[in-house]
A and B are shown apart, each in its own frame.
Chain A
Amino acid sequence: MASTIIQRKKIETVSPTRKLVMGIVFVVISGLILLFFALNSEAEWITTFVMNPGGLERGLAGDWVLPTSLTLYVLVGLTLGMGIYQLLRGFGKQTNAILGVVVALFVFAFLTWAAGGKSLNLGGMLSSAVLLSVPITLGAFSGVLCERAGVVNIAIEGMMLMASMVGALVGSITQSLIIGLLASIAASVLLALVHAVLSIKYKINQIISGTVINIFSAGMTSYISAKFLQRYEYLNGPPIFPRFPIPLLADIPIIGPILFNQNIFVYAMFILLIVLQVALFRTRWGLRLRSVGEHPKAADTLGINVFRTRYMAVLLGGVVAGIGGAFFTLGSVGRFDEMMTAGKGYIGLAAMVFGNWTPIGSFGAGMLFGFADSIATKLSILGTTIPPQFMSMAPYITTMIVLAGIVGKGQMPAADGEPYEKE
């Protein structure tokens, strides 16, 4: 904070290097589409995208039938045009959004090419992407809540794992979805409380505190699973939340089946998205929460209780992670398997970083990562030679690229990870 009194000259406003780099990236992507897809497809290929996820009767739509080659050349042109515009004029503040569009076009080009001469159920793929993104996005929301208040939470993985196990166990015993879900949330909140006490009260390094919880959860869930769930089948057979089509909305073609004919976890995700986005940035509660994450001492001098605010944020983060954890057992699989969260909590953290610590951004990143997962599982069906593992790596690599600041540095809360020391 040394020196702002001088009327200093700005050397530059937008980094020209970044503008140039992004322009080149766009052009390179355009080149890739041309080289690998457009030039690699037969002229007579027709790509058929089926837009209806299997097994649904509402909101049906016709298939998209596209001439493969022509579509690809159009995509080449579009991306090239954006690249040239970026190089000459620059998109300025919209650059990141445009990057998203270009990447999306690239993925679309890939799918068009891969399904050339065949048909691909794009609707089903999108529908499963939404489902796969649920735990990632909820994990990211949990992270947003904690980190906006200044508490780094890498324990989301552990919280979700514990929640999924407890949800399965309690759901099986009671055969009640609601009680199972509530138990999941309670388990996760309990761990969140531990994290909060360790990092807020005892001020231990928050990453270590998170590691404690992750190791503990991995141990505890596997212990219970080995000792009880695997031995007594009736303890590991919870009911599953059924698909619940929303009246009217579910009948909209394409969007309806993908977004509005899912189970309550998907809707919870949408509702949380809106609620969090508004609450964080439009309400007194959110202003106070963010102030604690940016400059806790300033908040303290204005009479805001830093500790209480942080506890509340972490516990709410626990609630959200609990819902995310319950999704695994009560929302999709219907039984608990050891380590079944498989790193989704960590990817959620990545989505949060990618989404610039905002609910809307986290949601977008979560969807993207879910989509990558969804493509990975469909790759073999498409008969491409790309190993599905590489597709699954994409989210991790993207996150590292984002962190490196190539796509522009995010706005991390200034006091994130720093314990507040009240003198």
Chain B
Amino acid sequence: MTPVLELKGITKQFPGVLANDHIDLTLNKGEILVLLGENGAGKTTLMNILYGLYQPTEGEIWVEGKKIEVHSPTDAINAGIGMVHQHFMLIPVFTVTENVMLGDESTKAGGFLDPETAAQKIRHISNQYNLAVEPSAYVKDLPVGVQQRVEIIKLLYREADILIFDEPTAVLTPQEADELFVIMRELVNQGKSIIFITHKLREILDVSDRIMVVRRGKIVGETTPQEADQNKLAAMMVGREVQLDLEKSPAQLGETVLSVTDLTVTDDQKQITVDNVSLTVQSGEILGIAGVQGNGQTELVEAITGLRNPIDGKIEILGNNITHATPRQVTELGVAHVPEDRQRDGLVLSFPIYENLVLNTYYQEPYAKGVNLYYDRIYKNADQLIEDFDVRTPGASTPVGSLSGGNQQKVIIARELSRPIKFLVASQPTRGLDVGSIEYIHNRIVKKRDDGCAVMLVSPELDEIMKLSDRIAVMYRGKIIAVLDANKVTKEEVGLWMAGINPNDSKNNNRESANNQKI
């Protein structure tokens, strides 16, 4: 049988980076092919080539045994290829119908829109594939899970046969992810073929028919869920046996550093995202905040670091009430913050390294006296920290924007950890980094803990939470639904908590076992 899709020798050269290196890939009809690889391995580049958003340097694309040229998304759509992008390609102020038909509109004579016909077709697709959605609703009013359904309907509306899902579970709860997997299975049962891109080991064994592993732009292996297990896949993904655990001594607990009581916080839309949360962090321990992205972690961190004003409750650092303090006041109490989006929030990319290293201390001695800045001291500080934290750069005056992601993060880590801090808030400190940088940063954080610093680690990556934390607080729908001892809890249990399910609750046992079966 001819494969529905064949990629032959796809190569993509970006200036200085070989993103895809002669990739060969086949997709058979009615299968779910998982493309597994770390962030930056080249998966998304490959799919963007397939979808016509990038042009390959060399290589061929064959669909149903015919060579095709894909110069634009239009070509891809015409060839029956559709893509659910990592960041949804939806227009919030348009209705579901408008979003779905955009580019392929139903019209009456003279180019006038005919939303009713399109809505009819959408309802039909909804029923056929079990994708409940209201065509006349505005996308901005829909929950993320439903928005993703709209994205899928967009593809089916165009009668795509090859569906690409790019990291579709990143924004979903485990529960919603499970629902998505059911939908994906339904789609292949009805004859569609799916490429599923992910770097999450946990989910692929459940859902895939075949697994291809990408590393540094190359296909490094192919396997099936029957042959593989998580450790083997992890090794293939990063190129060596990975020590999934980290040697660390037991926590030496000290005084209470952070104390949060009955905290309620709203987001920019004035909706409650942190709901009556209480927690404490003591010196010498790492408290991991586990949870799917968007369950209030961002707002919790913003409230603690003074970036967001809570509407109710109390936050104390070492006995100081900082509920309505400014970020600067919080920083001056010895709090360090590694923000979740380093390029947007943590660095000024056009500034040189030396200025970024004093971004929140520039006004203090020894860098400044009164309004006068002492640049010689700022340079000296930079040279020292570059050495201490192993930042790979031509010099301290290099703009941070021209460093690699790992080195950018090291600049932030250097800035935050080099100060005499009492409390560290680290939000997704290793997001998108290479394994080497991840290990380095993890070690630094553990070392800070061992020095008696209190650490709050926020991460949607369960592995990272399990590896570093002494205690784990699970955040779900704005609430802390469990605080667990990291040494006494399994990954699976935390995973269930993240989905809002109490694993000790007997009536959920059915669901748990259902999860373990292949869908």
A and B form one complex:
yes
Contact A2:B293 (CB < 8 A) given known A287-B102, A302-B103: yes
Q: Is A94 an interface residue (CB 8 A)?
A: no
A2/B294 in contact, CB under 8 A? yes
Contact A299:B292 (CB < 8 A) given known A8-B272, A423-B53: no
| Complex alpha-carbon distance, A158 and B424, angstroms | 54
CB < 8 Å neighbour of A6 from B93, B98, B478: B478
| Complex alpha-carbon distance, A417 and B451, angstroms | 49
A291/B107 in contact, CB under 8 A? no
Chain B CB within 10 A, most for which of A1, A283, A290, A303: A303
Considering only CB atoms, which chain B residue lies closest to A9 in the complex? Answer: B272
> Closest CB of chain B to A293's CB: distance in Å?
10
CB 8 Å contact bits of B88-104 with A (1 = contact, 0 = none): 11111110001101111
Q: Is A12 an interface residue (CB 8 A)?
A: yes
- Which residues from chain A contact B83 at a C-beta distance below 8 Å? 301
Contacts of A14-33 to chain B: CB distance below 8 A: none
CB 8 Å contact bits of A108-128 with B (1 = contact, 0 = none): 000000000000000000000
Considering only CB atoms, which chain B residue lies closest to A12 in the complex? Answer: B270
> Closest CB of chain A to B90's CB: distance in Å?
6
CB < 8 Å neighbour of B173 from A2, A5, A291, A414: A5
Contact A4:B143 (CB < 8 A) given known A301-B73, A423-B53: yes
> Closest CB of chain A to B471's CB: distance in Å?
23
B90/A295 in contact, CB under 8 A? yes
| Complex alpha-carbon distance, A290 and B478, angstroms | 35
| Complex alpha-carbon distance, A304 and B90, angstroms | 14
B271/A10 in contact, CB under 8 A? yes
Q: Is A418 an interface residue (CB 8 A)?
A: no
CB < 8 Å neighbour of B271 from A11, A288, A300: A11
| Complex alpha-carbon distance, A3 and B298, angstroms | 9
> Closest CB of chain A to B209's CB: distance in Å?
26
A284/B107 in contact, CB under 8 A? yes
Considering only CB atoms, which chain A residue lies closest to B158 in the complex? Answer: A302
| Complex alpha-carbon distance, A6 and B500, angstroms | 11
Contacts of A296-312 to chain B: CB distance below 8 A: 297-304
Contact A283:B103 (CB < 8 A) given known A2-B267, A298-B91, A411-B93: no
- Which residues from chain A contact B72 at a C-beta distance below 8 Å? 303
CB < 8 Å neighbour of A3 from B94, B99, B273: B273
B294/A5 in contact, CB under 8 A? yes
Contact A300:B94 (CB < 8 A) given known A2-B293, A287-B105: no
Q: Is B121 an interface residue (CB 8 A)?
A: no
Q: Is A294 an interface residue (CB 8 A)?
A: yes
> Closest CB of chain B to A334's CB: distance in Å?
39
Contacts of A383-423 to chain B: CB distance below 8 A: 411, 414, 423
- Which residues from chain B contact A298 at a C-beta distance below 8 Å? 89-91, 99, 102
B294/A3 in contact, CB under 8 A? yes
CB < 8 Å neighbour of A283 from B101, B112, B299: B112
| Complex alpha-carbon distance, A5 and B77, angstroms | 29
Could you list some 9 contacts between A and B, CB below 8 A?
A1-B87, A2-B267, A4-B142, A5-B145, A5-B176, A10-B270, A287-B101, A294-B93, A303-B77
Q: Which 6 pairs between the two chains have the least Cβ-Cβ distance?
A: A3-B294, A302-B103, A303-B74, A298-B89, A8-B271, A284-B105
Binding site for B on A (CB under 8 A): 1-12, 282-285, 287-288, 290-291, 294-295, 297-304, 411, 414, 423
6 additional contacts (CB under 8 A) given A300-B53, A423-B54? A5-B173, A9-B271, A11-B270, A295-B89, A301-B51, A414-B93
